[in-house]
Every structure is written in structure tokens, then in C-alpha cells.
Structure 1
């Protein structure tokens, strides 16, 4: 039996294998979030006049969506930010399936850039719509993109299961165990800072810790009337 037969997912071998792979390694809330990301990403594309397999490769969009949070699984929990760990895990999985390198690269980019909305939107639709769909599933629908009642139908098929809370706790849990996965000024770093109250270094403090002594002899201020480039 084909899983989720009632939903408009691509039914290629690669898509079905990725679906099963993600289901086997991810928490149910994160897995459902990943599938909703595809449905919402496609809806965002339709709002822009983009049609699957006419204006973009639907299989690549699905692969980017269903695997975009693979870095939040035990298998994907490496030593980088979770978005990069997930991109690497997805690329290895697809390469082992025999997918050509140029197609793997698109999926890697889609996953690695999905937290960088403004940057992703400048890329090809298979990349841009992963980021857009993930944002929509976390409530970023202003101005409205999704048709009236669409989210209700999607949630009936793919319950939320406290998705935002599970994502937050998984990201922070990884970062607590491996703080280098949440560098300052990154999204994981900000979630960890909010949870722990940890203070981030200022620009000046970061540079004073470096080797170039750019602030040597300058007064302890960042007042633009005092400090000139």
C-alpha cells in the first residue's frame, strides 16, 4: 500500500524511499511538519503561478521538504548546525540511492538554506519553496498565502502534535549537549540563549578576542562620533 495515498505527494521511487526514511528516523511531530512543509510549499508556489513539473521539479521539492529536518534525528545529529547536518545526511542517503550529483546538490541547498528565508527566495523554486513551506507551517501566513480551509484539511491528515514545541525542544536539546551546534547569532544559538539566559558577546568583544587588535588604543565605546572606520 502506498503511504498517504490521499495526499498529492510524488510517487517516484526516490520520493517513497525518502518518505519511509524520514518516517523511520524522525519524531512523529517533526515528520508531519516535514510533509506539511511540502503541501504548504506547493501552495506557496501556486500562489506565485508556479506549477509542479512545469515550473519546477516536484520530486526535488518533495525530497527537500521531507528531509529538511533530518538533522533533528539521532541519525542526523552530527557536529554542525542541524540544518547542515540534515543536508549532509540527505545528500548521503540520496547518493547511496544512485541519484545524480546535480540533483542531490539541489536538495542539499534546499535543506541547508531553509532557515535563511530571504536568501532561499532568490534561488530556484525547489529551494525557495522548501523555506516558504516550512515558514508557513510555523504560522508565517501574513499576508495570507494558503487558501481558506486548506490548513484545516492538511491538519486533519497530518496532525500538528505540538510541532513548534517539539522542534524547539529538539533543537535546544541538541545544542545543550553540543553547544557548538548553536553558534551565536544563528537560529539554534538564539533558541539556546532564550532557554539558558546565556549572554552573547558583542561585536567588539568578538574582535578583541581575535588576533588583529583592531580595537587597540580605542576608547571603550562604539559611539560612531568617537570611533571611525
Structure 2
């Protein structure tokens, strides 16, 4: 059984109309494990930002960070399952929803970037904090960004309200399940593509095979590498 909305009253997040409407929207379409992960991504991203000296609504727009974190995995829902990699599908669904909420194109574009780039941490961290901290928070929650020292009582409190529910396993299986059904969602050498390769043991084409077919340019015909 999912948690009632008042279960999140003690969590520190923006209470704007758009933020609350987005919370309702995402909770209504996401698996509970992924929804909990999305909220934890915000809480951890904001705290890790503070460790970098970044304060909400002083150094970045807290509502935009919240929206980016909350929406970053909506590509893993039935509604967000379109025809591209899930992070791009999710970015498109996020903008569709925010536009319906009256969010300006400029603000919606920041959320699009945050969702689309959250798998590419090395790029995201070079962007504005509202984008960088989505990737940082999401990666930390799934264990990709190491374990910086956060107060144990804080993480315990977060997990008490937002239990993990096997989050990493659920995210993995949802990505792979979508891609097995629609192979174009997991091109070679992308994060979704790598997860599918690990699952299926498929052999990826080499660089030479990729650039030779279907272009037919034959750049390798007669080529001798420099020594």
C-alpha cells in the first residue's frame, strides 16, 4: 500500500503549487520504489550541495532542483515510455507536464536538461546547480557517487519516511524491461545499452563496423594506422 501524501509533511521541500502538483503527478505514475528514490535524490542532492557551500534560493532555485529530482525518472513509467532512451523520454514528459502547469519555457528547459543529463554526471556537474545536484543526488542514492559523510540520523530519518524498497534493482529492471521491448531505447555504448548488454550478453559492434555500415563511406578501405 502506498503512503498517504501527508506522510511527507515532515520532509523539507518546496510547497509551491507547481511543486505539490508535480508531487501528486509523479506519485500517481511511478513505482513506489522509484518515487521514493526520486524524493531521496532531492533531499540528498540538496544536502550534498550544502556541503559544497550551495544554499537553496541563494545559490540556486530550490523549486527547480525539486522538480528536476522528482521528474528525473518519469521515463520509467508507462506514460513516459516513448521511443528514446528513458532519460530523454522522461525529459520530454517533464516539459509536457510543466508546460501544462504554466511553467515558463525557460524554467522548463532547466528541468529538461536536468532530467536528460542525470545519467551523464561528468557533464551535469559542469552545469548550473539545479542540473548538477539532480545527478549528484540521484547518483548518491543509488550508490554511484561514493558515500560522503552524511549524518546517520539524517539518512535514517529519510529512510524511515522513504524506504528503499530495492530501489537500485527496480530501476535496473525497469530500464532493461523497457529496452527489451523497444530496442531503440538502448543504443550501443549508452548506459541503458550497457545494462541490456549485461542482461543479454549481446556482442556490440566495433567502431569500424558502426561507421562502415550503413554509411558505406568505406573509410577503412586501404587505411594504414600511423606508427
Quick one: distance in 2 between partners of 1:153 and 1:200? Answer: 43
Q: Which runs of 5+ in 2 are unaligned?
A: none
Matched, 1:49 2:49: no
Q: CA deviation at 1:52?
A: 0.6
Matched, 1:25 2:23: no
The aligned counterpart of 1:118 is 122
Q: CA deviation at 1:145?
A: 4.7
Distance 1:205 1:145, change over 3 A: farther
The aligned counterpart of 2:167 is 163
The aligned counterpart of 1:81 is 85
1:68-102 deviation per Cα after TM superposition (whole angstroms, max 9, x unaligned): 00000000000000000000001000001111111
Alpha carbons 2:81, 2:89 under 8 Å: kept: yes
Return the structure number with greater helix share: 2
- What TM-score, normalized to structure 2? 0.94
Distance 1:152 1:141, change over 3 A: farther
1:112-167 deviation per Cα after TM superposition (whole angstroms, max 9, x unaligned): 00001010001000000000000000113535153333222211110000001100
The aligned counterpart of 2:216 is 211
Q: CA deviation at 1:211?
A: 2.4
Quick one: distance in 1 between partners of 2:222 and 2:149? Answer: 53
Quick one: distance in 2 between partners of 1:77 and 1:141? Answer: 27
The aligned counterpart of 1:92 is 96
Quick one: distance in 2 between partners of 1:16 and 1:3? Answer: 14
1:145-191 deviation per Cα after TM superposition (whole angstroms, max 9, x unaligned): 53333222211110000001100100000000000000000000000
Counterpart among 4, 20, 45 of residue 16 in structure 1: 20
The aligned counterpart of 1:148 is 152
- What TM-score, normalized to structure 1? 0.93
Quick one: distance in 2 between partners of 1:3 and 1:119? Answer: 35
Q: Which runs of 5+ in 1 are unaligned?
A: 219-225
The aligned counterpart of 1:228 is 226
4+ long deviations beyond 6 Å: none
Quick one: distance in 2 between partners of 1:99 and 1:145? Answer: 36
Quick one: distance in 1 between partners of 2:124 and 2:204? Answer: 26
The secondary structure found in structure 2 opposite 1:65 is: helix
Counterpart among 109, 115, 123 of residue 113 in structure 2: 109
Alpha carbons 2:118, 2:134 under 8 Å: kept: yes
Alpha carbons 1:120, 1:128 under 8 Å: kept: yes
What number of residue pairs does the alignment pair up?
A: 222
